[in-house]
Amino acid sequence: MLNALRREFEVLEMIETETVTEYFGRVMTIANKMRSNGEDMPDSKIVEKILRTLTARFTYIVVSIEESQDTEAMSIDELQSSLVVHEQKFKRVNQEDEQVLASESSRGRGRGSTRGRGRGRGR
């Protein structure tokens, strides 16, 4: 049982569509099962695992955390809080980008084709 859990823990990686909270839930479920089966599982090992297996969009924040903080002393809750804040920023930026794109495309549809033809004639 413990060997299967170790293997499951080793191959864990964050899925692109997964939220930080969902990923932490998956990691902690396996880590807690390992602990209840006698595995020595310090928080630092879980923190390191999570930092290594986040998706590429978290690369800059992972580097920042590793350079500015002692990951050995960092709690799982501290890491999760920090990553959730950054995830919310990503979502806000993406929503703003989508709104800008939507308004640009709706403005461009009505006038863009006429404007393009008008410029060509004058030259």
The string of DSSP codes covering 43-83 is HHHHHHHHHHHS-GGGHHHHHHHHHHS-TTT--HHHHHHHH
16 CB contacts (<8 Å, ≥6 apart)?
55
Spell out a b/e string for 59-84, using b for 16 or more CB atoms within 10 Å of the CB, else e: eebbeebeeeeeeeebebeebbebbe
pTM over 0.85: no
**Mean pLDDT, rounded, of the chain:** 87
Q: What is the pLDDT of residues 47-78, one digit of tens each?
A: 999 999 999 999 999 999 999 988 899 999 99
